[in-house]
Amino acid sequence: MKTDLLAGGWLAGARRVASPNFDVRPEGERPSLVVVHAISLPPDRFGGPGVEQLFTNTLDPGEHPYYAAICHLRVSAHFFIRRDGELVQFVSADERAWHAGVSCWEGRERCNDFSIGIELEGCDTLPFEPAQYHRLAELLEILRSHYPIGAVVGHSDIAPGRKTDPGPCFDWAGLELPVPVARR
């Protein structure tokens, strides 16, 4: 897939599903960190519309018991990589997506201010697909060419004790990254 960032931080070739859950970054702030997440809705199930619905505030609490507990959340990520490698973009990379929550990296709190969030369709108990690693590596190379990305970390690295994703099944060593993986 030929992809490149367009004006405004939107990626050509990614399916665009605009989320209302974002705001502006602090003045002069450019993304310097990438945070890798994992998500599946319902938990441990793949392929459905749950993630897109969550990120667009359209999750039906009656559709699954788990949804009733999370439908009030106002969250998003910049990118979502499905199991088959499909790339979906919810927020411009120039804007602040609401993906990290309470977080800290190298003494800096509020990681949403200076990071790009990439969600992988997955969970803590199953391996990720080769297509996802390929798409992630491709996306990281594009992001690095447009932003001063200094590190790629897991959500668990910026919110230890609160988050576990991308989880023990994510193969950091097998991911060929254009920037260092900063592990705690």
- Which residues on neighbouring strands pair with residue 121, listed in sequence order? 39
Domain assignment present for residue 64? The answer is yes
Catalytic positions, please?
Answer: 119
Low-confidence ranges of the chain (pLDDT < 70): 1-7, 176-184
Q: Would you say residue 90 lies in a domain?
A: yes
DSSP letters for 5-59: BPTTSPBTTSEE---S-EEPPPTT----EEEEEEE-SSTT--SSSHHHHHHTT--
pLDDT at site 128 = 97
Q: Which domain holds residue 106?
A: 15-158
Establish if 167 belongs to a structural domain.
no
- Which among 74, 45, 37 is positioned nearest to 58, based on CA atoms? 74
Q: What is the DSSP string of 91-113?
A: S-TTSEES-S-S-EETTEE-GGG
Predicted local distance difference test score (pLDDT) of residue 180? 57
Residue 7 resides in a domain: no
What is the SS3 assignment for 158?
Answer: helix
**So what's the pLDDT on residue 102?**
97
175 in a structural domain:
no
Q: Is 8 contained in some domain?
A: no
Q: State residue 149's pLDDT score.
A: 95
- Output the pLDDT for position 3: 54
| Two tokens, residue 131 | 């297509």
What is the rounded CA–CA span in Å between residue 158 and residue 83? 24
153, 115 Cβ separation under 8 angstroms: no
Record the tokens describing residue 43, joined without a space. Answer: 């938990």
So what's the pLDDT on residue 181? 59
Q: Indicate whether 153 belongs to any domain.
A: yes
Q: What total of structural domains would you count in the chain? A: 1
176 falls within a domain: no
Are residues 117 and 172 in contact, defined by beta-carbon separation less than 8 angstroms?
A: no
Looking at residue 175, its pLDDT comes to 79
Tell me which amino acid residue 78 is.
H
